[in-house]
Structure 1
Amino acid sequence: MITKDMLIADIVDKYPQVVQPLMLSGMGCIGCAISHAESLEEGAMAHGLDPDDLVSGLNEVLKANGIED
């Protein structure tokens, strides 16, 4: 399960299934250096996204792929 306090790089490493949805949401910086120090919430807010909506959507992607931690 993804939470908004997780680091972006950790999310991408653990759940590669969410890379494309993150990119499509406007978070194209998933591979940049800041992703190793920035939480999903911080990144979402920096890109004008609602962190709770983003977390919900990403967890739906995981569910659709049969991943439920």
Structure 2
Amino acid sequence: MEKITKSTLIGELLRIDGDGFTPILLEIGMHCLGCPSSQMESIEEACIVHNTNVDALVDKLNAHLASMKA
């Protein structure tokens, strides 16, 4: 994956690096990561539900992704 976007699915994130992305998502209150419907939810949709700034979260997730490549 080149870059995480607002349309990236939560399930896709967890398949890439569940151990790394899970704490970031839990930190903002996304505690339903094991829910089947969350697997098909985009980051933007999840942020709307959790009243979270999607741009800030995408930046944080991309920083983690970049650190994985380093």
| Interval of TM-score (by shorter of Structure 1 and Structure 2) | 0.7 to 0.9
Q: Which structure 1 residue ranges, 5 or more long, are not aligned?
A: none
Matched, 1:21 2:24: yes
Aligned to 2:14: 12
- Shift >4 Å, 4+ stretches: none
- TM-score when normalising by structure 2: 0.81
Residue 35 of structure 1, CA deviation: 1.2
The amino acid of 2:14's aligned partner reads: V
Identity %: 34
Helix, strand or coil: the match of 1:15?
A: helix
Aligned to 1:49: 52
Q: Which structure 2 residue ranges, 5 or more long, are not aligned?
A: none
- TM-score when normalising by structure 1: 0.82
Aligned residues: 67
More helix by share: 2
